[in-house]
Structures are given as structure tokens and as C-alpha cells.
Amino acid sequence: MQPLSGLLVLDFTTLLPGPLATLMLAEAGAEVIKIERPGGEDMRRFPPQFDGEGAAYALLNRGKQGLTLDLKSEADRAKLKPLIARTDILVEQFRPGVMARLGLGYDEVATLNRKLIYCSISGYGQAGPRADEAGHDLNYIAATGLLDLQPGPIERPVVPPMLAADIGGGSFPAVINILLALRARDQSGQGCHLDIAMTDAMFTFGWYALALGAASGRFPKPGELMLAGGSPRYQLYPTKDGRIVACGALEQKFWLAFAQAIGLAPDYVDDTRDPEATREAVAKLIAARTADEWRPLLAQADCCATIVTPLEEALRDPHFVERGLFAHEVEVGHAKTLPAIPVPIAPQFRGKPGTKKAP
């Protein structure tokens, strides 16, 4: 039996943070009913489309049941009451106050079900001066100082390739706190309201910059943070053929092994004397050879240096394939089957590999 078998989840969320959170609950055995407005949520229409079905929607809502309701209709809202009365977990992602105006806020539904765990996911939380402010992932990492830590000169800012706020600030904290609330309910018999603000966890991602600022009174500027471009030991170096070596040789033993593998001159190995000169020397050496030339040398050195891999190649990596990351599948349209999104749930809790469809 999966650990969340027997639990019922009502999912009022759209797009990414909430749907990914409830997907993880579903993959661990919970029954998830996704509430959608007539016509369905916007993610259904996001490209690419297969037989009129959005691939991103299918990947995020695999294995859930669907229920179409117009929440602005009193009659449709009334249909929810018997469902809410037996629900264990409710997840919503509207702006603060919207569910309350619909008569579905925590105070209202708690009268129907005192054991209900009610999880609200929003950008800035349910209360505070910015609670009603619109935003997306980029805005949330911008407002919390995280984007200011980006490597490189400010004249060439880079949009991060991952949605840290949506997933790391929304989906993951939601699941963590839902599981904590289930444990608390086991002890007290009482549900609760979880206020998950995607911006809150962005300060957690800035842990090292916070430590530096607290200890020295000076917070790092863009490109200064050791783990964000401020050290030649933790850096991206282009190769001769336009690929990239990701160097993470922070510890001295790895740095010395890396320096030896690339033939770094002794004058530059001590990177405390002139970090920028060392970085330039390493960059020049890496740029002199192709990725295929560097790959065996770095592998033999075992020095925390990796050739950046395109996603389509990473999907074929024997290591990830053997670990079963892509064993689960999702049916999109009538004939298309795609690998399901790998979720951070231990295989013994996730259930047997198989193909499921979105509602």
C-alpha cells in the first residue's frame, strides 16, 4: 500500500506550483480530484498540443480525476459541500481572498470538515502589504534578492533556466507542510490552514549570501558570491566547440586534481592571490580543447567537473535510465505517450511504473 492511499485531495490549482504538488500526492497514492472551470484551465491550451491536448497539462495532471464546476455558480458550489465534508486535503492557488469571496475560504469549509488540511499557495502569502500583488516566478526571485545574486555583469542579465519560486517555493513547501499537517492531525484530530508563499522560500535559497551578510555586514554584489560566479573553482567555462565545462571543484583536493587535469600553471593554482587571473587562465585552457577531448580527462580526474549535457542527451543517460526516472508514462491525446515528470518520491512510495492519463 502506498503511504497516501485512502486520502482524498481536492485540487483547485492551475498552471505549475499547485498541480505539481498534487501530482506528487497522487503519485504517493492519494486520490486527487482536479476542479476545473468550464472549458478547462489555461494549461490545457499551452503548446505543444497532441490531438488537442496540451502536453504540459498532461504531464502535470497525470493520474488525477476531473470535475468541471463553475465556482461562480451557487448551484455548482453547493455540489462541492458533500465532497469537502469527506476531503482530507484541499489545495488552492487563487489570489488571497478569492476562495473566501466564493464561500470556500478556510473558515467556511472548516465548519463542514474540522479535519481538513487546507493549503493555500500564493506569491506573497495570504497577508501582508504585497499579498495582492500580481507576479510570476521571475518577479518572486527578483523581489527577494535572489536574482540580484546572478553571476556575470549586470549589463548582460540572464533569466534562470529553472522556476525556483514555482517549484522550490510553491510545490515542494506545499507537499512538505501537507505531510507535516497530516502528522499533526494524527496527534490532534484537527486540520489547519497552510499559508504557502512562494517568496518566503526564496530567502532559503539565498542562505549563503545571508550568512555572509550577517557575519560581515556586507552582502555580496552580482558576480561576487562564491557559488554564483565569484570563484574560479565554481564556474562555467566554454570549450573550443561551444560546449561548457561546469567546474564545481570547491574543495582543495578537487581543485588540485582539476588544475592538474587541465595543466594549469602553478602560479594560478593559488586562486586566493588573484581569482580573476586564475579564472582567465582556466578559461583559456578550457577553450583550447573540445568537450569530447575534455570529457575523459575530467572523468579520470574525478574532480567535480562536468560537461554540460543537453536535456535530450540527459534523458538517455544510462545512469538515470537505470534508476527508473522515466519508467512512468503519461498518455497525451489518443496515441502519444510521453515519459512522466520525475518527482522526488522514493520508488517504493510511488507505486508501480505504468501509463496514466490526465483528466
Catalytic (active-site) positions:
136, 166
Give me 26's grid cell: 497522487
192-197 vs 234-238, strand pairing mode: unpaired
Determine the straight-line distance between the first and last CA of the chain, rounded to whole angstroms.
23
CB 197 within 8 Å of CB 123: yes
Candidates 38, 41, 29, 33; CA nearest to 10 is 33
SS3 content of the chain, % helix, strand, coil (to 5): 40, 15, 45
Instruction: Could you list the beta-strand ranges (E) of the chain.
Output: 8-11, 31-36, 49-50, 53-54, 65-68, 89-92, 117-122, 192-197, 234-238, 244-248, 305-307, 329-332, 336-339, 355-357
Bridge partners of 332? 336
Phi, psi of 133 (to 5 degrees): -75, 135
- Please state whether 15 falls in left (phi above 0), alpha (psi between -120 and 50) or beta: left
What dihedral angle (degrees, nearest 10) is formed by the CA atoms of 47, 354, 92, 80? 110
